[in-house]
Amino acid sequence: MKFKDKHRFVRSNMKKNRTRVWMTILASTIGCAFLIMLASIGFAIHKTAVNDVMSFRMVNEIQVVKENGRMTEKDVKKLEQVKGVKTVTRKKYVPANQLSLGEYHNFADVMSAHVPSEEKAGFELEKGRMPKAKNEIVVGYHFAEELRKDLPEGLSEEETQKKMKEFSYKGDLLNETLKYHLTTAGPENKAEGPVKTVDVKIVGIGKKPTREWARDNSVFITEELYHEVISVLRKQDPKIISDNELKSYGEVKAFTATAEDVKEVTDRIEKLEYMTYSIIKELKEMNVYFTLFKAGLIFIGAIAVLIASIGIFNTMTMAVTERSQDIGIMKAIGATPKTIKRIFLLESAYIGLWGVGLGTILAYITSYGVNFVLPIIIEQFVNEKPPEGFMLSYIPWSLTLIAVTICMGVTLLSGWRPAAKATTVDVLKALRRDV
């Protein structure tokens, strides 16, 4: 018997009991949608956690530190020789943080960076260029937002939040000249007396970070300016930075060409007796935990599918009982047990497919709906904006695939017995009409 004919057969059989079939499909739909929705919460939390980790690090970066002592130029050279390392960025943090433009101030993360390696590691500019002269600087994308007028004292937290934006610098900072305060004083410990400043010109502004919630308020200064700043700072307080520190780097990161290389390269670097931190390492531990969590949710969701499958079992058992006379006649004429079995398996498969298909669509719609509506509700009741990129439900392809596999598996399993029962219909009893 050809598949097309089996299909036609099954279709006409399903049509005969439309209500019953649709009710069974409905049960499967709900079961499948429930499974996906429940698990999607786990996937969403996992994704949020991963994004959180990723927002602090790039996938292909490996932070390298020494077990004892600080990373020096020698270490950088050594790392650059390691196979698979594309480039090594090194940064020195500057303890002087304040920059100002008129009445606007910003306490930024000032650092001196090695420009060629930064560029190689993927640092890109939104506009402008990299610094050439000593007093040229590049600022991060959010520098302008953080550059703001002093807020009036005694504001409540809520008002502060509101005012922050208002007080930010609104214009274009490119080619503006700012005053860099050569002091370690910050907003908490105000400097006493006049502070020496140096004029710096913004020649470039960094690209917006790819992670939505990452904020880039960094300032890159040149190596020469760094030394000048340090010498001024040391005059104020000789202990502020040791000779040793001066020669070493505050942060050294090795970059690989692709994320896949990270593991191998990490192993190689660790062989050289460095300690490493990479996203892959962090994610690995996290993944174990979340995989268990998600498996638990899928298991609970699968129970719903199991309950729905009882419906399929009943429907198919009834279908077999109702049609046992037809089955008997077909067997008498020459239908093999295999053919009979396939016809009934196909019928349960169709019910399952409909259920899975509709269930998946329903789950996607619900998921989008929840993600869209829930933040609005939260805002209404709690009066607080949920974090950017907030998700309660996330359905990746893998989840859909898992759900479809579980649903179809359970469906076929529950259709199996009725189909097997159909093959055992006794021809003579059926012909005698007493089945």
Partner 1 sequence: MISVSNLSYAFKIGKKGKENIIPVLHDVNLQVAEGEIVAVVGRSGSGKSTLLNLISGFIQSEVGSITINGTDVSKFSESKWAEFRLNHLGFIFQSFQLIPSMSAFENVELPLVLKGVSVTERKKKAEEMLKRVGLESFQHHYPGELSGGQQQRVSIARALILNPPLILADEPTGSLDSENEKQLLSFVKELNEKYGITFLMITHDHEVASIAHRKVEIIDGYLREEKTLHEVQR
Residues forming the site for partner 1 (CB under 8 A): 1-2, 5, 12, 16, 325-326, 329-339, 427-428, 431, 433
* Phi and psi, residue 408, nearest 5°: -65, -40
293: alpha, beta or left? (left if phi > 0; alpha if psi -120 to 50): alpha
Least distance (Å) between residue 421 CB and partner 1: 15
Measured from the CB atom, is 7 or 385 closer to partner 1?
7
Least distance (Å) between residue 431 CB and partner 1: 6
Measured from the CB atom, is 248 or 423 closer to partner 1?
423
Measured from the CB atom, is 4 or 190 closer to partner 1?
4
Least distance (Å) between residue 256 CB and partner 1: 58
Least distance (Å) between residue 319 CB and partner 1: 12
Alpha-carbon distance of 268 to 83, in angstroms, equals 8
Measured from the CB atom, is 264 or 322 closer to partner 1?
322
Reduce the secondary structure of 184-199 to three states and give it as a string: CCCCCCCCCCCCCEEE
Measured from the CB atom, is 3 or 372 closer to partner 1?
3
DSSP-assigned beta bridge partners for residue 201: 136, 177
Least distance (Å) between residue 331 CB and partner 1: 6
Measured from the CB atom, is 5 or 224 closer to partner 1?
5
Which residues fall within 8 angstroms of residue 312, CB to CB, at 6 or more apart? Answer: 24, 27, 28, 348, 351, 352, 411, 414, 415
Measured from the CB atom, is 18 or 190 closer to partner 1?
18
- Residue 416 burial (C-beta neighbours within 10 Å; 0-12, 13-18, 19+): middle
Alpha-carbon distance of 10 to 271, in angstroms, equals 64
Measured from the CB atom, is 2 or 83 closer to partner 1?
2
Measured from the CB atom, is 8 or 129 closer to partner 1?
8
Alpha-carbon distance of 65 to 67, in angstroms, equals 7
- Residue 282 burial (C-beta neighbours within 10 Å; 0-12, 13-18, 19+): middle
Least distance (Å) between residue 350 CB and partner 1: 18
Least distance (Å) between residue 18 CB and partner 1: 14
Least distance (Å) between residue 315 CB and partner 1: 17
Least distance (Å) between residue 20 CB and partner 1: 15
